[in-house]
Amino acid sequence: GVGGLTVFREIVKVRPDARYIYVADDAGFPYGDQPETMLIARIIDVLGEAIVEHRPDLAVIACNTASTLALAELRARFSVPFVGTVPAIKPACGQSKTKRVSVLGTRATVSREYTRALIREFAAGCEVALIGSAHLAACAEAELSGKPAADDVISPEINGCFIDDGRRTDTVVLACTHYPLLIERFKTLAPWPVTWLDPAPAIARRVADLLQTRPPAATPALPPQIVFTSGK
């Protein structure tokens, strides 16, 4: 889907000289509810074809579901460096003042052992609530296409993030790359102000680090190219 655009817009700021191929697996959208074995096979197939055709210096997996599920397998199969997108639990817990953090993602992402392992390793004394949404990714797609979802559709999806038992939630991790497209809606509908943590800037910094040995191109970059798996 379009969630990867929130990552792309940050990466292009740090390496505007690069040539970008955006692979949109729209034929496979949404990933969240698909069986894991089928999804791993699909991700490997789609990326494998893209790597053969475009021979990239680096591949960014701009999807939490795909990264938490298939990143290890991708790194085992391909020599191209991969940058994944995983829930930003470590920085969220590091900056939380109330030590109450929520992770808002797809049901698939928040149910994964990968996500729970991040909490065990990096919670640092924080209480971390996992909130899985079935509808927000589709709401973000609609928002971008000019057909915003009603408030009463979005509100129930985020309400579980807000816990007040003497310590209020102060940080919400956006654990789906679609969700930053809705961040202004979230701010409006939130019962109190929180920090909404978008991982995209950190992903961009990691890309810049990995590509620092590749000097800026001498000629202007070619326009970004988008490839739809549906053939549209």
Positions annotated as catalytic residues are 63, 176
Kindly provide the b/e burial profile for residues 118-146, where b requires at least 16 CB atoms within 10 angstroms of the residue's own CB: bbeebbeebbbbbbbbeebbbbbbbbbee
Q: What is the distance between the alpha carbons of residues 85 and 183, in angstroms, rounded to a whole number?
A: 18
115 with 90: CB under 8 angstroms? no
Q: Record the tokens describing residue 74, joined without a space.
A: 């991708």
CA distances from 81 to 76, 187, 191, 224 (A): 11, 35, 41, 20
Q: What is the distance between the alpha carbons of residues 117 and 122, in angstroms, rounded to a whole number?
A: 8
182 with 140: CB under 8 angstroms? yes
